[in-house]
Structure 1
């Protein structure tokens, strides 16, 4: 007994499987994309690798690393750099988070106005902002006058030429770098999550702690990392607003290069700063990744 196969009726699926691939614009091969990007890649490589190579070459002369690491002022400046950067990053992220939440809760027109105010530090030079803070924080400046006028203090506080003034100036400059990543994370939150939580009886604090804060951790992490990296290279702010004990590593690099004309030492300091920051960034990212895997598991 023989059986014959019943032909399968053509359907859109079988027709699509058996049909020739549609003819459209031919896909550009990967080599063509690399060829188009080659000028940009070469330019970036030269622009980045040439200075780094120059620093590496110069830093190997005259026992530069041994000399700078034995300099107590260099060690003190390096410690100042990471201490001031950490405090500035913490203050910037906290204030930036509050500002981002305020902007997020406002309507479109008010958002534009508030974003413009946040961007004001980008529209003025660093030196101008620092001298403005020097005027505000001096003994007879606006801040001390207001504190004394309100009866909070009996005399002027030492608000200038110290670490507090340096951190204030740095936070003012760094705020936009924290506000925008955090606002982007807030804007990506689905409004229905908050509505569902409130409909189930969750209060304002519970909604923030269980929904908003966990979902904005990536934005906060990005903001903190960006702000910290930028803050390690501050140069003008410690000079204008800080005291003799508040100099950062960028000031030491300038001292070695301009005052001592020790370019080998300056190169060694620059590479040491780059290396330490890179290690800290890698450790920070690893901690965040481990925390994410722990929560997922």
Structure 2
């Protein structure tokens, strides 16, 4: 059962970790992406942070569009079609896969692996995407903005770091908002998976024994949390949510309970299914294959 916290004037919050309950809540018609900021000071603070992901012309980053937004559905379908061309896309980023595979297999990193991951992800959308230490730092700043406590969030905004990071990410992404989201917020899960793959590969003879599908199952990581809001008061199963309750879907916790079901990490089959639900596991599998090839050549 979800943990519900309600302190008048401060917070109205539900934290959902159980996989089945999480999927029910995500699918409920009264649960939305846009945040009103009502329900308490904490709710208002979170809503203000997400409001930053809106471009100067009013466009919204794809992951923050409402389920009833017709542009969201059309954009998601188009992107799903593009990213389903898995083999061609993986061939496009073969140099990055080779570099990541060398690192996973124990090679010395000549640059930050976060930069390599960001470039690989960016080139899935824009073939000429170029990542740098500065673009990866911008991504890290935006991730910090979302999780920062009030004083640090205030510094990130007032120092100009927030706007500068948004500008850098959007420019590098050539104003493709799906690319911007992937190379700023989503890529950190791939960075974590890469580091976990390296740990797995360097332990005993795992690299020789474990095949790519199993390596992916062991190392794939989902977003730590996904934010929603209950527009109206309602019961979702046994869970009672008051109107304007902020909902934190602890997706990584739920995924770890059913790690062999990779689809859960991507909301596969749901209205907000990640368009890269097939591409990301395939990418990680190719990285493990590259690491195995490196090890065989050195043997």
TM-score by length of 2: 0.33
Name whichever structure is richer in helix by fraction: 1
Name whichever structure is richer in strand by fraction: 2
Q: Which has the larger radius of gyration?
A: 1
TM-score by length of 1: 0.33
